[in-house]
Structures are given as C-alpha cells and as structure tokens.
Amino acid sequence: MRNAIINISMSEMKTTKKYWKGLAQLNNDPIVEKLAQNEFIEELPVDEFLGDKKNLSSTSSSRRDFLKFLGFSTAAATLAACETPVVKSIPYLVKPDEIIPGVANYYASTIYDGRDYASVLVKTREGRPIKIENNGTCSNSRIQASVLSLYDSARLKYPLKDSKETDWQTVDLEIKEKLEAVTDGKIALLTSTIISPSTEKLVKDFSKKYKNVEHVMIDSTPYDGILDANMDSFGVRLVPSYSFDKANVIVSFGADFLANWMENEYSTDYVNGRNPKSGKMSKHYQLETNMSLTGANADERIRIKPSEQGYLISSLLDAVNGKSFDENLLNQCTNGKFSKIVKALKANPSKSIIVSNSNDKNVQLLVNAINHTLGNYNSTISISSPSNLKQGNTNKLDNLLSDMKAGNIEAIITYNVNPSYSLAKATEFNDALKNVKLKISTSLYNDETSSLMDYVCPDNHNLESWGDANPKYGNYSLMQPTISPLFNTRQFQESLLVWTDRSDYLTYLKDFWINKGIEWHKSLHDGYFTLNEKKLNIKRFIDQSVLIKSSKSNSETIDLEIYETIALGDGFQANNPWLQELPDPITRACWDNYLTISLSTAEQLGLSNVNVSNGALNGSIVNVTSDNDMELLNVPVMISPGQATDTVGMAIGYGRTKAGKAGNKVGFNAYPFLDAKSVTLTKVDGEHEFASIQLHHTMMGRDIVKETTLNEYIKNPSSGNHRETYETYKGKLPSDQVSLYEEHDLETGHFWNLSIDLTSCIGCGECVVACQAENNIPVVGKEEIRKSRDMHWIRIDRYFSSDMTKELSAKEKKSAIDMFSEMEVPSENPEVVFQPIMCMHCNHAPCETVCPVAATTHSNEGLNQMTYNRCIGTRYCANNCPYKVRRFNWFQYSDNDKFDFNMNDDYGKMVLNPDVVVRSRGVIEKCSMCIQKIQELKLNAKKSGQPIKDTDAQTVCASSCSTNAIVFGDSNNKESEVWRLRNDERAYDLLDHLNIKPSVFFQTKIRNKA
Amino acid sequence: MMKFFYNNTILQILVIVLISFTNIFSQDVVDSLAVQKGEQIFKTNCVSCHSIGTNSLIGPGLEGVTEKRKKDWLKKWINSSSDFIASGDADAIAIYEEYNKVAMTSFYFEDEDFEALYAYLKNPPIQVKATSADLVLASDEGVANSTKLMFIALFLLCLVYILTSLKNKLKESLDQQTETIPETLLNQFKLFISEHRNVVFVSVACIIVVLKFSYDSMLGIGVYSQYQPEQPIAFSHKVHAGENGVDCNYCHSSARNSKHSGIPSANVCMNCHTYINEGTITGTSEISKIYDAIGFDPDTRTYIEGYDQKPIKWVRIHNLPDLSYFNHSQHVVAGKVECQTCHGPIEEMDVVYQHAELTMGWCIDCHRTSEVAMEGNEYYTELHTQLKEKYKGEKITVDKIGGIECAKCHY
C-alpha cells in the first residue's frame, strides 16, 4: 500500500525526480503492482486447519475457554506466589549428645593423602565437616581444600568388579580366594609412602598370611637422589629434617621448600628465622631455573640451568673446603654472586643449610659433603630425627615393572597411588599390568589406574577414616572420622584386615597404641602426641662424593625443569574446583598448565603472549619433543619473568583423563617428561587462551608495596615507609590532616583491624582457599576468570620489579611515555613481592558514598558492611573502590548447570557454611572480615561474661596463615598484637594519599640484601 | 498488640504484688531466698515427675504435701525412697503401690538444700490464672467503636431529615415544589459533579485511598503473624508449659547455646512420656504417636529392638528468610529476653501460632527501645563506661551498640 501512496504523491507533485524502491519497480516488474494492491498475496493457510473438520470437532475448547484458562492460570499463579510454602522441621529422634544444632564441633584429626600431611582441626556442623583448621602445624592450600574433595560426587560410591557395581561380600570372597590361590608368583603392594605405623604392621600381617608379598612405595615426584645419598653417607635411607629457623644462610639449588619440596612444614620455620624486629634475618640465596615461590621470596635469586647445578655444587664444595675453583667462570654464570655465597657460608659455620632439588645421587652426595664440611648436621639439619614423608624407591619400582613384564607378579594391590597417570613409565606400566592375573585398586576414584583393574575396593576419604601418622621421628598424630562414610566405601586398612580374616580397624588401631602405653582419649582429643623412641642406627658421616669437573650445560639445547604448582601439586586432587581456580602465585593463571619460558628465549623462537581486546591473555602454542623421545602437541607458552634463559618449566598434576568433570581435560600431562633433561620446541599456528587474573605485572614506579633492606631498617625502622604530604596553607601535611570527611566514632567498643606483614607473606595462597571454604565463594570456571570475573574475596597480587625506574628515567632524560612503557616490562630476573588484597574496610569508604540504596554501610566497629538483599547491582561501589576488591555476581552460580561445580551438586553443597548466605545473581559481594566469626566471638564473650581474649579473635585468612603474616584483632585493646602492629614503624596504609583510612594495613617488606 | 501485652503484664504484676503482700501478713515471715533456691532445685530435679499443683504426673502432685506429711517423713522419702520403703513405713509402701511401683530417684540433698526445697513446697507460687482480659478489652473497644459509629450515623440521618424538612417547609412557604430526601441527595450530587474541580478532587482522593490500601496490603505479604498450622502431633504448650510449668529450656535446651531454639528430639519427650501414657486432653491418641515414631511399647515399657524409626515432621511456624541471621542464645542468654516477648503467651496456647510479625521493622523497633543487659557482665565493663560517657543520662539501647547495623543480621 505504501508503495502506491508514494507513487501517487509523486505523480501529483509532478516533480522530475523519481525515487524507486528497487530495481524491480524501475523495471516495472508485475510483482510490484501486485504487492501494491495486496501486501499479503500468499493466502493464509486457514483452510488447512479449518478444513480439517475431524480435528476441529474433536477439540472442545473454544476461544472463551482459552480465555478462561488464561485467566484462571494467571490468578492461580498470583495466588500461589502469595502462599507461604509449608516448611517442615524434622528434629532428631534421638539426638547425639555432642551435637547442638547450630553450634560447630571441632575434632582433631590428620590429613594425609600420600603426599601432603597436616595435623588439623576439622570444623563440623550438624555432623558435616565444613572447614579444615590448622592444629599447631602448618598446612597448605591442598590440605585446606581437601574438605571439598570429601564431597566429590565423582568418588566411587560402591565397589567395582570389572567396572561394574558389586557388593563387598562378593569382592572379599573372590579376592581372598584368588589371593590364596597365588602360589608361584608374587603379590605386589604398590603404595604411596606410608607414614602410619599401624598400617605398616598391617602390611606385615598381610605379608605373613600371604607369602611372597612385595611392598613397593613410590612418591609422585621421586626423591631417590637424596634418599640414596643419605644411605651412602649415613647408612640410613632417610630424609633429614631441616630447621630453616636456625640457619643464618640458606642456599637452595632449585629446592622449592616453601611450596612443594619435601613437606609443607618449612614455610613456618623459614619465616621464623626472618624476623627483622629481632635483627636476626637469614640470608637466602636461591639458584634456580623456574621462578618458584621460594625463589620469589629469596633475598638473592640467581638463574641457572638445571644442567649447571651439579658443577656449581661441586665447585661450592671445593670452595668451602678451601680448594681452588674457577671463581671467574662461576661468578660469570651466577651474576657475580658465587663469591658472596662462599663468603657468607664461611662466615656462618654450622649455621647454614644447603639444599638441592636434584634427583641425582651424586649431586646430593656433594650437598651432604658441603653440609658436613660446614658443620650443619646436628645443628640446622638433623639426620637423627628424620622426616618420614618421602620413602619412595624407584629401583624397587623398576624391579616390579620388570617382574610384571616377566609375569612373576600374580596379584597387584594399589593404594594412594595412580601409577597409570603419575609414572614417567606409565605406558610401560599399563602394558605390564596385562600380565597380572589379579588387579586390585583401592583408590577413591575410578581413575586412570582403577579403570584398568579387575576389582576396585574404594577407600574412605581421610575425613571418614581412622588412622595414625608418624610424619617425623618421635612425632605422631591420630586421624579420626568426622562423618560416617558418605558412600558404600571401606577404608583400605579395613580391607587388608578382612583379607587376612579379621575385622575392625578401630580396635586394631586402639590396641596398637594402647599397647605402646599411649593415653588413647587424650591423644585423640589433642590429635597428636610424642613418643620417646630408640635411637636410629646412624653411622658417622662418610664422604662418598665425587666432584663434577665441568658443567654439562650446552647453550644449544633448551633445558627442561619439571615443577609442581601450588594449587594441584601432584594432581591427585585435580577434580577439586577450588584448587583448579586457585591462581598460580607467579603466573597468576588458573585452570591450566603451560610451558614457562623467559622473554629472551621466547623472542628467539618467535613466541609471544598478547593481551586481546578484553584484556585477556593469549599465548603461542608449540610442539614439544624431549631428549627421551616424548612428544607433546599444542602446548601453550607462558612468558615468565625470572625463568633462566634457554630453559622451560612444565607443571605436573594436569592433563587428567579420569579425574571427574572439573579435573578432566585441564592442561596436559607432564609426567612422561619426568626423566627428560632437554626439549626442542617447534612453533605451531594458533593461540591458547589463558585464564589469568592479573594482567599487569609491575607497580609502575608507585609504592604499592613499600620495601626496604635489613641494614636500612636497623638504622631506621621506618625506612621505606614514606608518607606523602599535601601542600596546604598550614604547610605540608599528610593526607589525614586535610580531611573533609566526618569521622566515625571508632574509639568506642571494638575496632577490628588486620595487619599483613609483607616480609612474612610468602604468597602461598592458603588463605585464598580457606576464605573460599569459609565464605561460600563460588567457583566460576575458566571462561569467567578470563573475563576477570573471579570471585575470590582475597587475592594475592604479585608484582615484578622492572629495570626502568623513575630515577633512571630522569638520569637518561626519557619522556614520560617511554618511561612508563618501559616500566611495564618486568626485568629478566625480577625481584618479586606478594601482597594479599581483600576489602580494606576503609573508614572513609569511597564505596559507601556512591551506593544509591545504602546497601553498603559502615559499622561502629570499623567494618564496611555489604548487605546483599539490599543491593540492586549498579556496581557503582566496585567502580569507586580504589583497591578493586568488590566482586559482582554476574550469574547465579549455585544450582546453575552452566557453572557445574560444587554449588551445582547435592554432595558439593554439603561443604557450604550455614552461617553465611549463598549470594544470588546481580549483587555485589566482598570480604566481610569474617563477620560471622566476629559475631560468634562477641556472642560467646557476652554469654560467658568475659572480655574477648586477643588470641580468640581470628579471621580465616589469619588463622590459616602458616607464616603468621596476617594478624587480626581489636585495635582498641591496647594489649592486642594488632594494636602493637598498628603502631609499628613499618605499618602503612595502602594508597595512603587517598586518606580513606583502611582498617587493613600492611607492614613494609624487608629484604636481607645489600 | 504491644499495648495489650503491657496491660496484661501490669495486671499480673499487680496481682503478684497483692498476693505477696497478703502472704507476708498472713504467714510467718518466709525466707524468700530459700524459696527461690527451692524453686530452682524443684525445677531441676522434680518437675519432670511432679507438678506443684494437684494433678499427678509420674508421681503425685505436691500441693499441700507439707501439711499431709511430716518434714522428717518427707526428708527420708526424698533422700532415698527405696531405703524408706525397705524400712517398712506403711505410708511409703502405700504410695509406692499407688504409683505403679515406680521407685523415686534417690536425691540425698544437703540439709540446706532440703530446707530450701521444703520452704518452696510449703510456699508454692500462687498460680496466676491466665485471664482473657485482653480479649475482653479488645472486644469492649470493638463494641464501643461500632456503637459510636452507629450513633454518629443516626445523628447524621436525623440531621439530614431535619434539614430536608426545613428546606421543604421553606420551599412550601415560597410555593416551590418540595423534594423528598432521595431527590435532594440526587440533585445535590448532580450539582456536585457539575463542578469540574470536585470531580478531580474526588478522583484524586479515591486514588490515594486505593494506593494506601494496596500499599498496606503489599506490606503484609510475607508477614504471617497468627499463622497457626496443624501439627502432626497435637502437642499443647498450654498443658506442658502452662499447667505443668515445664521450663521452656527443658525441651528447647539449645536456645541457650545455639542460634536455633531447637525442636526437642523424641528422646526428650520420652524422659517423661516413658511413664505418662495418657494426656489430659487427647488421651493416648497423641502420645502414642511419639511411641510410634521412636519405637516404644507402652505396655512393656521397653523400646522395640530393630524398629524402623519414623522422624516426626513438625510444621515450622516461625520462618525467617535465609538472608537474615537470628540467634536465640544471643537474645535469651546475652540479652536476657523472655521467650514470651517474641513468642507471645505461649503457655496459654493449645496450638501454637506466630505471635510476632517477624518483620525487619519489628526487630528494629525492639532494638531501639530495649536496654542492653550490661550490668554484671564483664564483657561490657569497659564499653559501658565509654557509652555512659558518650550518651550522658540516656538509656543504652541495643541500637547504641550497633544493634541496627546491617551486618549484625545480614551476612
């Protein structure tokens, strides 16, 4: 019709200009005319359904009926919305004495999964474990996260026979029959390092019943070098215990002892030996390949290739022995630090520690010789009270493998290990497994190994088990269940008992310890006990070391260094989404492993990392071939400052195929490269998408982390802690004296403060997981992290130093643009600082003033409160927050199939803390300073009529911190630790010039360097 | 409701004061401390089997027991009834026989404690019969209101009649046509709506009234005061808490320790109902539901082995939304608030209903007016001095220590 009108008006106006709607009109196509007459020339198919008389008559609903239905359903829906749902309350029929609904119980227990050990307190609510707390010892992020692994729905729920569900009777009957039938061959028991004395006895009992039992222990990363070296030096195959707190000089060759090397105890000791206040601070040299957590904390970090390590250690032995060594060459490859190390070591006899991560016995023999020469044994290193956490024996494993190949093994039982995944020779193992008649796994999962086995007799989780542990000579701890087994599983020890015609491991365990004169109930209550044991038979030190005369380093090849990440470790908890989403402290990436490479090597090979338009990080992809003919395709490359030139790092623990929905297909499996020394890289087209939560790596000349050196600090305790001043009519004044704000009354009542010591913080991320567990923080997955939509309430910012400084730029007269663009690039071997950032609870909070609905307000105790049910999601507060700590719920993260993690799982939800709400879509959330714990603390004090004890005041980040870097308390209590820290010369407010008066403050970082 | 509540309390206080005065004048001077202590002892030890009235529970009701028995007799009986029966006292054996041969627990009270208990038994509290004073008051007021309205309406009608008559008289005198009352009203109405402004005014007024009404009714959404669902077991708080005087904390023990007041588990019921098989209102029908749930055979008085226990599904009456954190122990122990302040006259309810609104305004109102129980609590010592300084002479209410801040309940 409109066409027609246009034509008419055109002709009426009689203009020469004519407009055509299209070529068809210009060409006088008849269709145009037709359309002009009738827009809908195609008949509506009314006849089709009206013509179908039969169908029409069979439906009885008329249009009026339809309207009736519509009206009725609308009314019904409206009414239903107003109706209260009837809520049922079901009390216990017979209430257990110890449970009061709504009150948490704590049980002392032990976590040991074959790799990580900690004595812990388990917080339970209504019989559900919901949080792991430290019990005097130090833990790590994996220990903290293990409570979620308990509720992993990927765990086996019943025993399996040939991958099919069966029951325990069948399994036991058949296994016993088959074990008894073993006559010629051997029964192999392949386990992780066992630190449980009662289990050791059980294994012996088992060996008595069934002859020819061979027990082989393996560690996921082998420590044979150091174990065998000690066998040669002292006649015992043991790992000594190190006292890093007693050492004045620490020289570590690649050993990441603050994170994954040996055990997690060392970080506490290390930080205890570095207390600037007392003036005693160890000097820590780290000579390493990858930028490790330990290297990041070292006073002096020297980049070396793994192939150079042996020669350096050998030369160090010569040097401390006073023999001649090639000082120039060594100083050259250690950036001039070698002579300094030698000098420092000589100046501190018997007060140093030398450690190496090498798995080469000869290298470890040299290390032993140096430690012996320096007199460190029985001073900082104790071989007479060794650690029991690493006892794996690769020789025995190799023998087992050849026996399996030869068909000498008739039955194999695995416990706490996943050899089909974690052995360097996994394929060889899998092939050899075919020769074994009876294959039994006791894994919690139907994992890579279990799926190849005849029988899977699923073990209980630690939190469902009884047990004991002897992590260190003379030190013991007990494990008690804090929940009944969730599934039809059975503890490994119970299985062994059943297979030796007995039962009841608890009685067995109790008898075992009561016979040794242990007070069972007291020990169980405390969780740990000590025992005077007979001395180990340790021989006098015999120097068996052989000097390594030259460096094997070859500048042609790229050396490979395998490492473990802070989050996943050996990868046995790969299906734990908290760990998958815990960003690596150095690269700040999660949900991935990659090849770490230095910038110069990457440039040589044409590899790069780029930030795409939304800021997310992309990296080049390479194919990797190793010197032992292993190949990996499409491996992403992450440029990592501090990586030694011509080396790459690769993390194990990823690339699981049968872990569960969170752990499968994340990254690649680097275990086959465990024995490789060097690799060749070939660039492949395409880019890999990383999920990295920090995209800016330097401080750009600002003093976000204020730091100084030990010497400066001793001269002036407030050195490095400079406050900016403003020009006013009264002269130069610091920001708090030119305030326009009305002050809150913070003197009355409590004033909750948090102090973070940047000298003690090692950046391990344990607080991040602890916070996630306590505060019901959702997991958002890789895609969302890539969009910088991480939900962690506490993050640990990592900054690298840059070669360009403001002073240098002024000297070289660089333009500001040049200066800042150069400042963005971290040094090749940068200094690293870690800074935990959570809501600073500003007392002049910028977020509070911009909220249109007063959803974020200030409390009279100095806290910035966030009220979710009031928030309408404008995100003004997040925009106005100078620390960027506010998190927005972009989606509903619970009960949402798009976020298929623990909050979308009936089992996974059992870990939620009932005292904290689960936030819904469209609201902001942030650190509440564990308000639920503060409220509980105050309430308990009010109920008991006692003032609050300073030590009772804890947030979870503070209580989980193994190095005591985070201290929480009431600053209005003049006896509190936090008050002392508030008034320390090192205390400073982050972004002090804004005068927003945060309740969280930092202590300057102090390095022990010249 | 608040007002009536206060009225009621004042009434009760008056009654109690009156009674206590008569007590003082009519009896020997009673050591009130001993009575108080005795009450404590009675509540902790005796109340599960004895009432202070005449009705028998497991043992006899103890009203007038001090007149019926000699003091020595009572002492022997309480200290060890079994020894006493064994000694062959006729009265003792009679009671033992009368109450199904259930031996009373031996208590061996210290002399002082026994004296206190005796003093209490001698001077039992006078039961203040719950009156329906508030209801009477309420209906009185209702009646008064409607009568007033009727009077006003009558008065207005009379006025209209008089005025119309007057008008008609005047019209008659002017020889104009007279109007009946409806006609007058119609004409006046026509006159009224012929003015544009009047119509606008009336419509605006109507809209305001409608909006106000809908706003008020919207505010009521999610407010379920008076919610009184039917429970799976017709448990009467009136019988237990009211008539038998069982302490609230006896069953709801976690109210002192936890955020939940806790619905008692069936084993708590069985503490008494092992012996009490028949209720005062419902006979055996309701009590047998507990036995059915837990697996108890009332005839043999034994628990049935291997019984498939059935949990009791109570209907929850007070439903706070998940977004607000409420802690019973905070209010009961630290705040020293009586249960009835929020739950109403629970001891008079056969079937419990929600007494309070449980809205945020209701919480805040109370926090603004209630004084913090600071005296004698060392936690508050320093804070109290600071606050006295800050709010000179003012009452230190809960809001002054941060009791109306968001994150005190929302986190």
At A774-827, the pLDDT tens digits run 999 999 999 999 999 999 999 999 999 999 998 899 999 999 999 999 999 999
What string of pLDDT tens digits covers the 411 residues of chain B?
444 444 455 445 544 444 444 444 444 445 677 788 888 788 777 876 777 777 776 678 888 888 888 888 888 888 777 778 877 788 888 888 777 676 676 677 778 888 888 888 888 776 544 444 444 444 445 566 788 999 999 999 999 889 888 888 888 888 888 888 888 888 888 988 898 999 999 999 999 999 999 998 888 888 888 899 999 999 999 999 998 889 999 999 999 999 999 899 999 999 989 888 888 888 889 999 999 999 999 888 889 999 999 999 999 999 988 899 999 999 999 999 999 999 999 999 999 999 998 999 999 999 999 999 998 899 999 999 999 999 998 999 999 999 999 999 999
Q: Which residue of B has its CA nearest to A87?
A: B316
Question: What residues of chain B, 198 to 257, have a C-beta less than 8 Å from chain A?
Answer: 221-222, 224, 227, 229, 254, 257
Burial of B362 from C-beta contacts in 10 A (0-12 / 13-18 / 19+): middle
Question: What residues of chain B, 261 to 280, have a C-beta less than 8 Å from chain A?
Answer: 262-268
| Rounded Cα distance, A431 and A401, in Å | 10
Around Cβ A983, how many Cβ atoms within 10 Å?
A: 10
Q: Which amino acid makes up residue B135?
A: L
For chain A, give every residue range classified as CATH 2.40.40.20: 558-692
The DSSP element (H or E) to which A602 belongs, if any, is: helix A599-605
Contact assignment for B333 to A89 by CB distance below 8 Å: no
Of A748, A860, A938, the CB nearest to B405: A860
For residue A845, is pLDDT > 70?
Answer: yes
For residue A169, is pLDDT > 70?
Answer: yes
Angle of helix A197-209 relative to helix A492-499, nearest 10 degrees, comes to: 30
B107 to chain A, closest Cα gap in Å: 24
Confidence (pTM) = 0.82
At A306-315, the pLDDT tens digits run 998 999 999 9
Residue A543, pLDDT score: 86
Question: What residues of chain B, 86 to 145, have a C-beta less than 8 Å from chain A?
Answer: none
A748 to chain B, closest Cα gap in Å: 6
At A495-543, the pLDDT tens digits run 999 999 998 999 999 999 999 999 999 999 999 999 988 888 888 888 8
Q: Pairing state of beta strands A280-281 and A274-275?
A: antiparallel
Question: Sign (positive/negative) of CA torsion A932, A938, A941, A947?
Answer: positive
Of B293, B323, B378, the CB nearest to A869: B323
For chain A, give every residue range classified as CATH 3.40.50.740: 150-222+392-530
The four Cα atoms B220, B225, B229, B234 give a dihedral, to 10 degrees, of: 180
For chain A, say whether B390 makes contact (Cβ under 8 Å).
yes
| Rounded Cα distance, A421 and A419, in Å | 5
For chain B, say whether A102 makes contact (Cβ under 8 Å).
yes
| Rounded Cα distance, A165 and A603, in Å | 54
Which chain B residues are Cβ-neighbours of A932 within 8 angstroms? 325, 411
Q: Which two tokens stand for residue A550?
A: 């030259």
Which chain A residues are Cβ-neighbours of B405 within 8 angstroms? 857, 859-860, 865
Burial of A485 from C-beta contacts in 10 A (0-12 / 13-18 / 19+): middle
Contact assignment for B314 to A88 by CB distance below 8 Å: yes
CATH class of A233-386: alpha beta
Burial of A458 from C-beta contacts in 10 A (0-12 / 13-18 / 19+): buried
For chain A, give every residue range classified as CATH 3.40.228.10: 233-386
CA A309 to chain CA centroid, Å, is 28
Which chain A residues are Cβ-neighbours of B316 within 8 angstroms? 87-89
Residue B4, pLDDT score: 43
**Residues ≥6 apart with Cβ < 8 Å to B216:** none
Contact predicate A967/A761, CB 8 Å: no
Write down the mean pLDDT value for chain A: 91
Residue A444, pLDDT score: 95
Q: Which two tokens stand for residue A144?
A: 């903290």
At A412-443, the pLDDT tens digits run 999 999 999 999 999 999 999 999 999 999 99
Radius of gyration of chain B (CA): 32
Contact assignment for B402 to A749 by CB distance below 8 Å: yes
A908 to chain B, closest Cα gap in Å: 19
Contact predicate B328/B261, CB 8 Å: yes
Contact assignment for B254 to A935 by CB distance below 8 Å: no
Contact assignment for B402 to A859 by CB distance below 8 Å: yes
Share of chain A above pLDDT 70, in %: 93
Contact assignment for B265 to A931 by CB distance below 8 Å: no
Question: What residues of chain A, 974 to 1003, have a C-beta less than 8 Å from chain B?
Answer: none
Question: Would you report the helix, strand and coil content of chain B in percent, each value rounded to 5?
Answer: 60, 0, 40
Contact assignment for B260 to A101 by CB distance below 8 Å: yes
Of A102, A859, A943, the CB nearest to B260: A102
Burial of B318 from C-beta contacts in 10 A (0-12 / 13-18 / 19+): middle
Question: What residues of chain B, 342 to 381, have a C-beta less than 8 Å from chain A?
Answer: 376-381
For chain A, say whether B384 makes contact (Cβ under 8 Å).
no
Interface-testing mutation among B379, B391, B397, B400, with chain A (most A C-beta atoms within 10 A): B379
At B76-96, the pLDDT tens digits run 888 777 778 877 788 888 888
Contact assignment for B402 to A860 by CB distance below 8 Å: yes
| Region for B80 from its dihedrals, namely left if φ exceeds 0, alpha if ψ lies in -120 to 50, beta otherwise | beta
Contact predicate A548/A533, CB 8 Å: no
The DSSP element (H or E) to which A165 belongs, if any, is: strand A164-165
At B310-331, the pLDDT tens digits run 999 999 999 988 899 999 999 9
Around Cβ A4, how many Cβ atoms within 10 Å?
A: 13
Q: How far apart are the first and last CA of chain B?
A: 31
- Concatenate the DSSP letters of all residues of B202-252 into one string: HHHHHHHHHHHHHHHHHHTTT--TT--PPPSS---HIIIIIIS---HHHHS
For residue A24, is pLDDT > 80?
Answer: no
Q: Which two tokens stand for residue A723?
A: 């406050």
Q: Identify the residue whose tokens are 């069982």.
A: B246
Query: What is the 3-class SS of A767-812, one letter each residue?
Result: HHHHHHHHCCCCCCCHHHHHCCCCCCCCEEEEEECECCCHHHHHHH
Contact predicate A858/A852, CB 8 Å: no
Which chain B residues are Cβ-neighbours of A941 within 8 angstroms? 379
Of B254, B311, B411, the CB nearest to A102: B254
Residue A45, pLDDT score: 64
Of B259, B383, B411, the CB nearest to A916: B411
- Give the phi and the psi of residue B35 in degrees, each rounded to 5: -60, -40
Angle of helix A338-347 relative to helix A309-320, nearest 10 degrees, comes to: 40
Residue pairs between chains A and B whose CB atoms are closer than 8 Å: 147
Of B260, B378, B407, the CB nearest to A945: B378
- Strand residues in B98-173 grouped as ranges (E): none
For chain A, say whether B315 makes contact (Cβ under 8 Å).
yes
Around Cβ A630, how many Cβ atoms within 10 Å?
A: 18
A931 to chain B, closest Cα gap in Å: 7
Q: Which two tokens stand for residue B156?
A: 């207005």
Contact assignment for A867 to B322 by CB distance below 8 Å: no
**Residues ≥6 apart with Cβ < 8 Å to B341:** B366
Contact assignment for B266 to A867 by CB distance below 8 Å: no
Which chain B residues are Cβ-neighbours of A93 within 8 angstroms? 265-267, 293-294, 309, 311-312
For residue A467, is pLDDT > 80?
Answer: yes
Contact assignment for A945 to B313 by CB distance below 8 Å: no
> What is the mean pLDDT of the segment spanning A879-902?
95
CA B7 to chain CA centroid, Å, is 14
Question: Domain A558-692 adopts which CATH fold?
Answer: Barwin-like endoglucanases (2.40.40)
A459 to chain B, closest Cα gap in Å: 29
For residue A161, is pLDDT > 50?
Answer: yes
| Rounded Cα distance, B382 and A941, in Å | 13
Of B264, B330, B387, the CB nearest to A939: B330
Q: How far apart are the first and last CA of chain A?
A: 89
Contact assignment for B405 to A857 by CB distance below 8 Å: yes
CA angle A458, A460, A462 (to 5 degrees): 140
Confidence band of A373 (pLDDT split at 50, 70, 90)? very high
At A776-787, the pLDDT tens digits run 999 999 999 999
At A995-1010, the pLDDT tens digits run 899 999 999 999 998 7
Collapse the DSSP code of A301 into the 3-class scheme (helix H, G, I; strand E, B; otherwise coil) and give the result.
strand
Of B293, B314, B383, the CB nearest to A93: B293
Share of chain A above pLDDT 90, in %: 78
Contact predicate A903/A920, CB 8 Å: no
> Of A173-182, A446-455, B82-91, B215-224, where does mean pLDDT reach its minimum?
B82-91
Angle of helix A168-181 relative to helix A492-499, nearest 10 degrees, comes to: 60
Of A90, A857, A932, the CB nearest to B411: A932
Q: Does domain A707-1007 have CATH number 2.40.50.180?
A: no
Which chain A residues are Cβ-neighbours of B221 within 8 angstroms? 82
For chain A, say whether B387 makes contact (Cβ under 8 Å).
yes
Question: Domain A150-222+392-530 adopts which CATH fold?
Answer: Rossmann fold (3.40.50)
Contact assignment for A945 to B382 by CB distance below 8 Å: no
Of B254, B313, B319, the CB nearest to A101: B254
CA angle B292, B297, B301 (to 5 degrees): 135
Contact assignment for B407 to A865 by CB distance below 8 Å: yes
